[in-house]
Amino acid sequence: MNRITFSLNHLILIFGLLLMIAPVWIIFASSTHTSLFINTNGLQFLLGDNFIDNYSSVLFKTSGFFQEITALKMFFNSFIMATGIATLSVATSLMAAYGLVYYRVKYSSFIFWLIFITLLVPLELRIMPTYEIMSNLNLLNSYMGLILPISASAIATFFFRQFYKSVPDELLESAKLDGANSWKFFIDFLVPLSKTMIAAVFIFMFVFGYNQYLWPLIMTTTEQYWTVVMGLKTMYGSISHRFAFVIMSMIPPVLIIIFLQRWFIQGIFQDK
Amino acid sequence: MKKVQFKSSYSQYFFLAPQLLILLIFLYWPIIQTFRDAFTIQDAFGFGSYFAGFDNFKFIFSDPSYYTAFKFTIIYSFVITLITGSIGLLLAVQANSVLHGKNVYKTLLIWPYAIAPAVVGVMANYFFSERFGLLYHLFNNLWGFNWYQDVFDAYIYVVIAGSWKQISANFIFFLAGLQAIQKTVIEASIIDCKSNIRRFWTITFPLLMPTTFFLIIINITYSFFDTFGIIDTTTIGAPGSETKTLVYKAYIDGFKGLDLGSAGAQSIMMMLIVLVITIFQFRYIEGKIHYN
């Protein structure tokens, strides 16, 4: 009886693994064949021998796939965007949550609602006016333009706020006895204490930023600022090159999740 | 609230200012603009606009295509929540009960969570294209599947594309929820109830309710907003416009159709829906529901 349930568990799990891995494997296997072969024989389950050829021409050649830009430059753009979004939102949220939790204020509930409202309005719902504002500020086709509107979110503030609330009151009491002012307490006590949480939120925001699709698609008109994920919509060229680009586009966030999953999950569940 | 705090002073605004400044320019201002758009009508040539009261709202409510998008969005989020929730739960229960290879399974099941919806959509596209789509031809042989023409088949296409990566998210949270259940509770229940299946539904599943509830909210929000990249890279609303979500329709009407009034009104309707969802979600974040 036990052996039967034991193998049933594994059977279901292996089926789940196949469900997740098979589609990506098929696209990967197909990306290692020539386009001619794909066009005549369809998607492939086994590897071909054009891996280096296909991937290097997508990464380093400008003409054919996109006109003025290589995939390498698009990865560079994506990294700048994702790092900018993660850094900006972690820094501002860390400070804002501190201002909300560690201060007594008259307008605290008003300010809290100001920040709470940001959860209601994802970028998709304010895309037109945001575009107008960015165009008035002359920020279309720039890194700042890619970063700023996506950083305008307070999700991270809620994570940090929740975390600060779980910090024992005695910490501030003893810091005050030592004569620490609010800035010193923040930098010397709270930030080092929040390291795991900061790492988790940073990873979360990095992946969130890297995966942005609609905003980069709308606001970049010159290829120099194209990012990887939006490039999926604008790419042309041979089919096996497209497969290669799709596979490459998912590598950075997937690696981040696989290698940093402990940190990530630990951070998210810390307050439970 | 903290018992020990700093007194309110300028330093507090120093901490709040950076975030509020970014929010002011890139969030509050666009929201105000959205409201302005929703209550004005621009003439066709963009020379002027006038206050229109609720005309834009009356317009979208009398527009059959708005109901089509509404209906699709509701069905879409319901089906995605159901499919990804049950598969995620099934896998999490199995992964929680195996003795060997737990971490290997976990690692190999969570990575799709990180992939952008647009990337998933492009991949799904290859499997559902008429040219060499494996699933297209499989389904086509079974019942004449053709999403280019049949609404139901197009639903199947976007549901599969939309569910795939979300199974991982459900798996992660259900697994964490299962691991948070105290061992003693499970051990005690083993004595009382020998049947694995009955024990799951009477003891374990009720204890998972907070996770389930949280995931329902997460899945609905995902189906409303994050699926934009999926729709835009798969059906683009095909066959007619039956597979446009509300968000996708607002974007098309505003950005492509340049009907700012209608797009603004649609955005405000969405904000109201999200408001309701977020209030529920907020109860969770605030920790009103506990695992123990």
Residue in this structure with the two tokens 């469900």, named with its chain if needed: A19
Name every chain B residue with its beta carbon within 8 A of the beta carbon of A126: 27, 30-31, 33-34, 267
Both structure tokens of A257? 């999740």
Q: Looking at domain B61-285, which of 1.25.40.340, 1.10.3720.10, 1.10.10.60, 3.40.630.10 is its CATH number?
A: 1.10.3720.10
Q: What is the pLDDT of residue A123?
A: 85
Q: What is the pLDDT of residue A19?
A: 93
Q: What is the pLDDT of residue B292?
A: 38
Name A27's Cβ contacts closer than 8 Å, sequence gap at least 6: A43, A243, A246, A247, B123, B126
User: Which amino acid is located at B62 in the chain?
Assistant: S
pLDDT averaged over consecutive 10-residue blocks of chain B (292 residues)?
A: 71 88 91 89 71 85 91 94 95 88 88 93 92 88 89 93 94 89 81 81 86 87 91 88 90 85 90 82 57 42
Q: What is the pLDDT of residue A43?
A: 86
Which of B280, B269, B139 shows the shortest CA–CA distance to B214? B280
Q: How far is B163 from chain A (nearest CA, A)?
A: 11
Binary contact (B167, A20; C-beta < 8 A): yes
A227 HSE (CA, 13 A, CB side): 30
Task: Calculate helix-pair angle for A195-210, A155-166, nearest 10 degrees.
Answer: 170
∠ CA A202-A83-A218, nearest 5°, is 115
Q: Which of B3, B14, B264 sits opposite A169 (nearest CB)?
A: B3
- Predicted TM-score (pTM) of the model is 0.88
DSSP B259: -
Both structure tokens of B224? 């409303």
Secondary structure (DSSP) of A246-269:
HHHHHHHHHHHHHHHHHHHHHHHH
- A34 burial via Cβ count (<10 Å: 0-12, 13-18, 19+): middle
The answer to whether residue A10 neighbours chain B at the CB level (below 8 Å) is yes
The Cα–Cα gap between B34 and A258 comes to: 40
Both structure tokens of A1? 């009886």
The answer to whether residue B289 neighbours chain A at the CB level (below 8 Å) is no
The answer to whether residue B160 neighbours chain A at the CB level (below 8 Å) is no
Name every chain B residue with its beta carbon within 8 A of the beta carbon of A154: 19, 23
Strand, coil or helix: what is A226? coil
Q: What is the pLDDT of residue B73?
A: 94
Secondary structure (DSSP) of A103-157:
B--SSHHHHHHHHHGGGT--GGGGHHHHHHHHHHTT-TTSHHHHHHHHH---HHH
In order along its 272 residues, chain A shows pLDDT tens digits of 455 666 888 999 999 999 999 999 999 999 999 888 888 888 889 988 888 888 888 888 775 566 778 888 999 999 999 999 999 999 999 999 998 888 876 677 787 788 777 777 888 888 888 998 999 999 899 999 999 999 988 888 888 888 888 888 888 888 888 887 888 888 888 999 888 889 888 988 999 999 999 999 988 888 889 999 988 887 777 888 889 999 999 999 999 888 887 776 665 554 43
Domain residue spans of chain B = 61-285
Q: What is the pLDDT of residue A68?
A: 78
Q: With contact defined as beta carbons under 8 Å apart, do A56 and B148 qualify?
A: no
Q: How far is A225 from chain B (nearest CA, A)?
A: 18
Q: What is the pLDDT of residue A179?
A: 80
The Cα–Cα gap between B169 and B123 comes to: 19
Provide the CA B114 distance to its chain's centre, in angstroms. 15
Question: Taking phi first (over 0 means left), then psi (-120 to 50 degrees means alpha), and beta for anything else, what does residue B189 get?
Answer: alpha
Chain B: residue nearest A228 by CA?
B119
The answer to whether residue B112 neighbours chain A at the CB level (below 8 Å) is yes
Instruction: Check the CA dihedral B226-B231-B232-B237 and report its sign.
Output: negative
Task: Calculate helix-pair angle for B151-180, B117-128, nearest 10 degrees.
Answer: 130
